[in-house]
Structure formats: C-alpha cells, structure tokens
C-alpha cells in the first residue's frame, strides 16, 4: 500500500495534473500572500435590533466612509461625502428622494456613477481579480469589471469609460447600476464578519437578522446565552421553550414567534385567558413602550404570567432530573408558604408581591396540570416542527461555536469561569471534570449532541445542557451566581435581585490572569497581535467605564446595541474593525430609524478610537488564511518535485 504522502500527492495531481498547472497555482497563491489583509468586522449583543444592525452592516462601522475619505480627501465637501455614503447604504431609497428635487437627473447620475466607480476601485484594490469577479453582481458583472479594471491597452481611457457610463444612462439602467455597484462596495469594504453572541431576545427582529446573516458573504458566530436558549427551544427542551416565550412576552415581542416563525401561541393564549381571567397580573407588565391596545396588552400580560409559572415548574423538573447541574437552590416553588404568601430564601422570609397561583399544587408544586401539559406538548411540537426556526438553528450550528481563535484574536461571548484567586475553575459535567478551553469544547460537543446524537441519553443531556448554558453559574456564557428571574417578578427587596458576577470580570485588568487565559487557548500575551474580544456585559460609558481592558489586551464591545440597555450605557453599542492598518474601536449613537438615516443623511457612527496601529501594513501572509496558503504552496512544491523526479507522471 502506498504511504500517506504518496496517496495525498496522487490525489493532488488530480487537481493539478501538470507541472504548468501546479506552477501557476503556486504563483497565484504567492501573489495573494502579498495582498493587504481583508477587513474584519466584529459585532456583539445585537439583541434583535435589526434596523440598527442592518445599518451597521451597510456602513461597515464607518469603513465605507473611510474608503470615501481615502478616495476623495479634501476634493469633496463633508456634505457631499455623507450624501455619497448614504447613497451607498440605501441606493434605491436615496434615489427616490433625490428625484423629488433634482431637475437634471442625467447629470446627477453621471456625477455619482463616477464617484461610485472610484470608491469601488479603491475597495477592490486589496483583492485578486478572481475574488472581485466572484463578488460582482450578476447583471452588471462585465460592465463593472471593465470600469474598475485599468485598461492599459486603451489609448483614450477617458473616452472609453465615458462611453460606457453614458450608455448606461441613455438606455435607462443608471438606477439599477447604482444599486448594483453600491452593493458591491458594501461587500468589498468588509471581508469577514464576526458576530460575538446574542442575536436573539429583547429587540423585535432576530429572525430578520438571521436572514441577513444567512445571505452574508463571510461570517462566523460565537454563540451567546440568548442564542443557545433559542437553540435549546428549537431542539425541544421545555425549559428553554418557556424561557424564550417568556422573554418575548416580557418585551412585547410575541409576534417574533407568531409572525416571524409561524409558531402557534393560541393554546397558550386560551389557557392564560381562562386561568388568569380575573387576575390583573400586575407583576408581569411588559417592558418598553406600550403601543398595543388595552385588550392586546391584557392578553399579553396574562400569557406572560402563564408561561412564567410554566417555566418555574419545568425548570424545577429539570433540576430534579439533572442533579449534577447543582441548581437545587434555584428550584423555588417548594419554598413558598402558599397560605402566608411568603417565600424563604437563604434563611430569610419575604412577602410575595403576587400570591395567585391557581395551577400550583402546594404538595407537588412542580407538576404540570393536565391543561399545562397539553399546552407544553403543543408548544414543543410547534418549536421542533418550525421549518424556518430549524433552518436558522442549523445555520447557527454550522457557522457558530462557543469560541473561536482567529488571526491571533480569541473571541467568546461571556467569560472563562474562574475561581476567586483568578485560576481556571474546574467544572463537572456528567461525571467528568473540565476547565478553561476543555470546558468550552465539552459544552460545544453537548450542544451538537442535543441536535444530532443517536443515543437517547446523549440526546437528552445535550438538550438539557443548552438550558444549563443559559443560566448555570458555571456556564461561560452566563457568568453570574444566579439568574434571579423569580425574585425580580415576585419580590420587592432589591437585594434579592442581585446577580453576582463571576470573578473573571474582576480580573479583566490583571495581566497575569489574562495571560493565563490566552495561554489556555494557545495565544501569547506578550505578542502585540493577540487580544481577547467579548461582549455579554454592557459597558457603561456614561459612568466612565472603558471597553478597553488590560492595556488593550481585552476588548468588551457590548455597549448597548439593545435599546433596553441604552439608558444605562449612554451609547448604542461598540463595534470593532480590524484592517490591515490595525484595530479600530467604533462607538455608535442610538439609531433613530432607516427613514431618518436616508432623509437626514445621518449615520450612527459617532467616534472611533485606534486601539493599535501597526508600523508595517498587515498582509494576507500574516493571517490564518496566509498560514493555510503557505501550507498549500508547500504541498504544491512537493507535487512539483514529484513530477520532476518522475515519481508522479503528468496527465497531459
């Protein structure tokens, strides 16, 4: 039998059957290594705010505007630059607005076509022609390639390009062309997108965000705890289903489930109306602006209470079923004195704000009533049978993971669980102990088992681990000592609402601890290229907090994308840009609306902070892709040597 190397070279010769073919590919790959590295865009904690997310995606966190500045410098006014940027973000809408006031659209088309072509030339300059060609919109691929590619053989270049542009205008295709080339610019200014967790919950459009991500040219996702609870719900884990519905109800977003995913909530609504008919459900008022009518609001708060009680019951069942999760202190229904209307927590007795529990049997508080069981059975079938939800979850599984090491940056959503002394915390899962990277890897495997395992025990444990990741103190995506959902609803005493953070958050400025975390994931603290990038806990800039920790080695870029957090943070989110010149932290102002962005030509990019600027521009050879290309070149050179030595024959 041939040795492995010989077999590999035989297979490689199927792709490159001649010396010429192998040589050409080596030359091509070597050329790519010397191009500037592509721009990476980091976004975290989007929380369903699809309009703001869409805008940040379009402007590349200021990357489009920076490209315009590179091209035009001081030759265009700030107003003209902003108009051009808005045209790139929203070409159809902007042209519709312009036509209302512009008397000479032909001149307008001509001016803006030239400007767009110049910007697209600059955006395409860091890529190979092959890569640009693949990105070109189908309808105008040939024309755009002609316009953005220098034609040295053409004597009168200006006349050549003018004739193309004038023909586009004359035959009535200017608007379609502007839409196409604007889309190309958006595509080229950002080479790769990183979503560092929490696409779901709070905001009204996580399903719309997921659709956009599925169409995006290059993306990876590090799951957040809010994403994983949706994954658990899609897998049929009942505690996750109840949590997902409760959060949607709490933020007035049940239409995400009903309209966005087509999940039938009528059984829950009917049950809630019947069970809590005379209950004002005052502890379950909705968050955010009340834009619904009185009847809808009353129904939503009743559904909110109904699913919350279901959640507390089902979570109690899960805790009993999974004693290794060590969450006995979060099973609370049996701690209630139903006659006195009090609950005892940590030796203290508290008065409940709501004592109407018609479905709870004090002798067996975690048992579902027959009506509740029927509701949950139907909801479970609805979640597991929802085609669109399953499609979105498959995308999260294929493009996502609990962490990622990419171009010397360590990306994760929450934290690395630590002990009080800053050492890695050892956590037990189903009889085995893990810490640091091995904990992340084990949890990641179990999540996938919850969807794909054939063994029934692995399958059930995999589903339950998604609920564990959602709220367990040892979960790297939660990182607090408890999720005080019950206390926030039923107790007035604020001290019971406190969720103590994992020691990780106290050590973010400690070089020794951060160095040990980086080392755990295979990175060197001393290397200027290595960083930790995460979100999860909003940075309160209005209180003077900085997203940059440990002298720039750690960046916590959750600045409040979610509107629910913006009063606390004083900002509408941070994003991060990593281009060939270095790292750029971008702060964003609250996003008013898409209409305002077009009408006022406003942008939500407010300010940028250079975290690290490199002395020498980073090239593809300095990236993970570069390492892979170098390996491919080495393999091809081995094939070339085998051809020349006669070990492998050319296939002419």
Per-residue DSSP letters for 302-318? HHHHHHHHHHHHHHHHH
- Residue 190: the pLDDT is 95
Q: Is the dihedral of CA 234, 235, 238, 240 positive or negative?
A: negative
- Condensed to tens digits (0 to 9), the pLDDT of residues 228-242 reads 999 999 999 999 999
Residue 571 has pLDDT above 80, yes or no: no
| Predicted model pTM | 0.93
616 CB neighbour count, 10 Å cutoff: 8
Residue 609 has pLDDT above 80, yes or no: no
Structure tokens given for 578: 């990593």
Structure tokens given for 599: 């009408």
Mean pLDDT of 386-407: 98
Please give the Cα distance from 65 to 88 (Å, whole number).
10
- Residue 218: the pLDDT is 96
Residue that has been written with the tokens 């629910």 in this structure? 564
- Condensed to tens digits (0 to 9), the pLDDT of residues 268-293 reads 999 999 999 999 999 999 986 556 78
- Condensed to tens digits (0 to 9), the pLDDT of residues 200-211 reads 998 999 999 999
Q: Output the average pLDDT for the chain.
A: 91
Residue 301 has pLDDT above 80, yes or no: yes
- Exposure letters 363-399 (e unless 16+ CB within 10 A, then b): eebbebbeebeebbebbeebbeebeebbebbebbbee
- Condensed to tens digits (0 to 9), the pLDDT of residues 174-192 reads 999 999 999 999 999 999 9
- Residue 594: the pLDDT is 77
Q: Reduced to 3 states, what is the DSSP secondary structure of residue 472?
A: coil
Residue 1 has pLDDT above 50, yes or no: no
Q: Is the dihedral of CA 550, 553, 554, 557 positive or negative?
A: positive
- Residue 149: the pLDDT is 81
Structure confidence at residue 295 as a pLDDT band (50, 70, 90): confident
Q: Is 492 exposed, middle or buried (0-12, 13-18, 19+ CB in 10 A)?
A: exposed
Residue 570 has pLDDT above 60, yes or no: no
3-state secondary structure 145-190: HHHHCCCCCCCCHHHHHHHHHHHHHHCCCHHHHHHHHHHHHHHHHC
Please state which of the ranges 54-58, 521-525, 541-545 shows the lowest mean pLDDT. Answer: 541-545
- Condensed to tens digits (0 to 9), the pLDDT of residues 11-61 reads 999 999 999 999 999 999 999 999 999 999 999 999 999 988 998 899 888
- Residue 453: the pLDDT is 96
């Amino acid at each position: 039998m041939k040795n492995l190397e010989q077999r590999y070279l035989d297979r490689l010769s199927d792709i490159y059957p001649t010396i010429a073919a192998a040589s050409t590919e080596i030359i091509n790959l070597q050329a790519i290594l010397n191009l500037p590295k592509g721009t990476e865009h980091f976004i975290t904690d989007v929380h369903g705010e699809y309009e703001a997310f869409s805008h940040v995606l379009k402007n590349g966190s200021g990357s489009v505007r920076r490209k315009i500045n590179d091209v035009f410098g001081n030759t265009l006014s700030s107003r003209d630059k902003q108009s051009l940027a808005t045209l790139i973000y929203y070409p159809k809408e902007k042209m519709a607005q312009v036509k209302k006031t512009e008397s000479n659209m032909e001149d307008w088309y001509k001016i803006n076509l030239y400007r767009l072509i110049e910007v697209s030339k600059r955006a395409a300059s860091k890529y190979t022609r092959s890569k640009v060609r693949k990105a070109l919109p189908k309808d105008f691929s040939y024309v755009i390639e002609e316009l953005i590619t220098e034609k040295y053989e053409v004597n009168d270049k200006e006349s050549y390009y003018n004739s193309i542009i004038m023909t586009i205008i004359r035959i009535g295709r200017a608007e379609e062309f502007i839409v196409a080339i604007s889309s190309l610019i958006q595509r080229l200014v950002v080479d790769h997108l990183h979503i560092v967790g929490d696409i779901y919950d709070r905001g009204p459009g996580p399903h719309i965000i997921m659709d956009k991500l599925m169409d995006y040219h290059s993306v990876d996702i590090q799951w957040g705890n809010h994403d994983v609870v949706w994954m658990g719900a899609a897998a049929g884990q009942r505690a996750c289903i109840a949590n997902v519905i409760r959060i949607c109800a709490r933020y007035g977003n049940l239409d995400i489930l009903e309209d966005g995913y087509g999940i039938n909530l009528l059984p829950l609504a009917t049950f809630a109306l019947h069970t809590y008919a005379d209950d004002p459900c005052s502890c379950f008022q909705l968050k955010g602006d009340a834009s619904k009518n009185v009847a809808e609001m009353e129904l939503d708060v009743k559904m909110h209470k109904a699913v919350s009680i279901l959640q507390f019951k089902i979570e109690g069942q899960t805790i009993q079923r999974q004693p290794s999760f060590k969450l006995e202190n979060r099973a609370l229904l049996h701690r209630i004195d139903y006659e006195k209307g009090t609950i005892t927590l940590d030796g203290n007795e508290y008065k409940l704000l709501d004592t109407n529990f018609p479905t709870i049997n004090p002798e067996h508080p975690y048992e579902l009533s027959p009506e509740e069981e029927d509701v949950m059975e139907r909801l479970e079938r609805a979640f597991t049978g929802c085609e669109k939800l399953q499609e979105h979850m498959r995308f999260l599984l294929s493009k996502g993971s609990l962490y990622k090491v990419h171009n010397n940056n360590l990306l994760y959503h929450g934290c690395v669980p630590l002990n009080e002394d800053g050492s890695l915390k050892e956590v037990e899962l189903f009889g085995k102990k893990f810490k640091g990277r091995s904990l992340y890897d084990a949890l990641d495997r179990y999540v996938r088992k919850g969807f794909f395992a054939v063994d029934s025990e692995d399958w059930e444990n995999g589903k339950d681990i998604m609920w564990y990741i959602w709220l367990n103190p040892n979960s790297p995506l939660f990182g607090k000592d408890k999720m005080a959902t019950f206390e926030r609803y039923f107790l007035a005493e604020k001290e019971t609402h406190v969720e103590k953070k994992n020691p990780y958050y106290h050590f973010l400025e400690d070089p020794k601890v951060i160095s040990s975390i980086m080392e755990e994931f295979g990175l060197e603290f001393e290397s200027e290229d290595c960083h930790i990038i995460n979100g999860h806990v909003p940075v309160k800039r209005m209180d003077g907090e900085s997203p940059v920790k440990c002298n720039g080695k750690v960046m916590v870029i959750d600045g409040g994308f979610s509107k629910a957090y913006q009063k606390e943070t004083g900002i509408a989110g941070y994003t991060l840009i990593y281009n060939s010149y270095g790292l750029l932290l971008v702060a964003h102002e609250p996003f008013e609306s898409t209409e305002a962005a077009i009408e006022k030509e406003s942008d939500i990019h407010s300010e940028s902070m250079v975290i690290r600027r490199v002395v020498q521009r980073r090239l593809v050879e300095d990236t993970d892709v570069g390492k892979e290309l170098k390996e491919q070149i080495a393999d091809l050179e081995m094939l070339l040597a085998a051809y020349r030595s006669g070990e492998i024959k050319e296939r002419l």
